[in-house]
Amino acid sequence: MSKVFVIDQNKRPLDPIHSAQARQLLRNKKAAVYRQFPFTIILKKSCPSTEVQLLRLKIDPGAKFTGMALVNDSTGEVVFSAELKHRGFAIRDALTSRRQLRRGRRARKTRYRQPRFLNRTRPKGWLAPSLQSRVDNIKTWVNKLRRFVPIQAISQELVSFDMQLMRNPDIQGNEYQQGTLQGYETREYLLEKWGRQCAYCGVKDVPLQIEHIHPKANGGSNSITNLTLSCEKCNTKKGVKDIRDFLKKDPTRLEKILKQAKRPLADAAAVNTTRFALLKVLKSSGLPVEIGTGGLTKFNRSQQMLEKTHWLDAACVGKSTPELIIKDVKPLLISANGHGSRQSCRTDKFGFPSRHVPREKIHFDFQTGDIVRAVVTTGKKIGNYVGKVAIRSTGSFNISTKNGLIQGISHNFCKRIHAKDGYSYAI
């Protein structure tokens, strides 16, 4: 199990402890729950100043998920792990929808609007909102963890895919590509791009080989746009045939492969765009920052025979990775949901106002998005419910639990256990 965070009376972070020790402290009323996610307790009595073991925060940024792990460099123990789900693509889709509705309204029997010209200059280092949100999510959690855990250093996977190296395998200056690590960048990129399956027959969960779309024997290059994945059977069958001859009876698959080969990987592009902005944010924390590559991460994970998950990838980032101890570690699953909408009214599919949105966001000291525990003792819905609350001015709330939506719970039965912070949690 991931350990429990502990802070003293002055809210200074102490060594994380086992969950059994935390239960004993809470049972003996020597500590109180300070925060539910991540679970943190605060000591009620002052303790003698003891030396704490400093930990390393390791981060594996991704387009959809970012893995995080707290590792003790001296022992190799993984103290805490989490997987953070970003909402970058949701932001992109929302901005696209807003733009389309706005243009539709303006083009619908309205006055002529003169085109704007250079009236919205972007500052240096500007990122699109969908990309900036990824950086901000990670920054938020780095700051949160620093409040509860003694962190001495940070490791970040800086280069997920080295595009320049893959286009020109003879490039110099990348020491990690020599010897045992040769080819890890290319293989990992192709696995992501082609969905970890054979491009010709679609088989999964078998050993896959790197295959040249245009055979090298016929002048094909080693460029990443000429590489795909193939199972051994298809690779042997294709041999040095041209792909058009090999797939002449399956033109649909042929067109799909040729189109996919030239298509950039959207997730890789998002990671590569935000990597240096994130590095700048992490360095601004004042902690030493170690950087590693995606190829080195996979090498470390393969050497220790660990499965591929986001939090284990994070634990394997960088050259500082020790022999990891991951017994019974369960990641905290975090989803970035945002803080709602600032719309004055909801609209229909054509962009016209359809219903009013109340200005008041807090009723009976609750707001939509709080995680509450409701102990219902009377009525038709007797029971205990834990989940996110949706409030109403009438005091009759809805609670979204893991077993479904419970409607019509009075605010008198509810107790907030975690205030709304723009994220949802699961284990």
Residues 389-426: pLDDT tens digits? 999 889 999 999 888 899 999 999 999 999 999 898 88
Q: What are phi and psi of 90, to 5 degrees?
A: -65, -40
What is the reported pTM? 0.77
Class of 165-169+182-262 per CATH? mainly alpha
User: Residue 108: is its pLDDT beyond 80?
Assistant: no
Q: What pLDDT, on a 0 to 100 scale, did the predictor assign at position 17? A: 92
Q: What pLDDT, on a 0 to 100 scale, did the predictor assign at position 170? A: 52
- Overall average pLDDT of the 301-317 stretch: 92
Q: What pLDDT, on a 0 to 100 scale, did the predictor assign at position 162? A: 53
Q: What are phi and psi of 201, to 5 degrees?
A: -120, -10
Question: What's the farthest any 2 CA atoms get from each other in the chain?
Answer: 79
User: Residue 123: is its pLDDT beyond 90?
Assistant: no
Percent share of the chain, pLDDT over 90: 40
Query: Using 50, 70 and 90 to split pLDDT, how confident is the model at 7?
Result: very high
Query: Using 50, 70 and 90 to split pLDDT, how confident is the model at 81?
Result: very high
Rounded Cα distance between 261 and 265, Å, is 10
User: Residue 171: is its pLDDT beyond 50?
Assistant: no
Q: What pLDDT, on a 0 to 100 scale, did the predictor assign at position 22? A: 93
User: Residue 6: is its pLDDT beyond 80?
Assistant: yes
Instruction: Summarize pLDDT for 146-166 with one digit per residue, the tens.
Output: 999 999 999 999 865 555 555
CATH superfamily membership of 55-87+129-161+266-336: Ribonuclease H-like superfamily/Ribonuclease H (3.30.420.10)
Higher pLDDT, 159 or 208: 208
Instruction: Summarize pLDDT for 228-241 with one digit per residue, the tens.
Output: 889 988 988 888 88
User: Residue 181: is its pLDDT beyond 70?
Assistant: no
Integer angstrom CA distances of residue 284 from 58, 111, 131, 280: 16, 48, 19, 6
Rounded Cα distance between 138 and 61, Å, is 8
Query: Using 50, 70 and 90 to split pLDDT, how confident is the model at 258?
Result: confident
Query: Using 50, 70 and 90 to split pLDDT, how confident is the model at 172?
Result: very low
Q: What pLDDT, on a 0 to 100 scale, did the predictor assign at position 343? A: 79
User: Residue 94: is its pLDDT beyond 50?
Assistant: yes
- Overall average pLDDT of the 40-67 stretch: 88
Strand 362-363 and strand 371-376: pairing? unpaired
Round the average pLDDT of the chain to a whole number and report it: 85
Query: Using 50, 70 and 90 to split pLDDT, how confident is the model at 211?
Result: confident
Instruction: Summarize pLDDT for 355-393 with one digit per residue, the tens.
Output: 888 888 889 999 988 999 999 988 888 889 999 999 988
Q: What pLDDT, on a 0 to 100 scale, did the predictor assign at position 175? A: 42
Query: Looking at residue 116, what DSSP letter applies?
Result: P
- Overall average pLDDT of the 280-306 stretch: 90
Q: What is the CATH number of domain 356-420?
A: 2.30.30
Integer angstrom CA distances of residue 4 from 35, 36, 104: 11, 10, 52
Rounded Cα distance between 28 and 44, Å, is 11
Q: What are phi and psi of 187, to 5 degrees?
A: -60, -45
Tallying the residues shown for the chain, one arrives at 427
Instruction: Tell me the Cα Rg of the chain.
Output: 26
Starting at the edge strand found earlier in the chain, the sheet holding 383-390 runs 404-410, 396-401, 383-390, 371-376, 414-418
Domain boundaries, given as residue ranges, for the chain: 5-43, 55-87+129-161+266-336, 165-169+182-262, 356-420
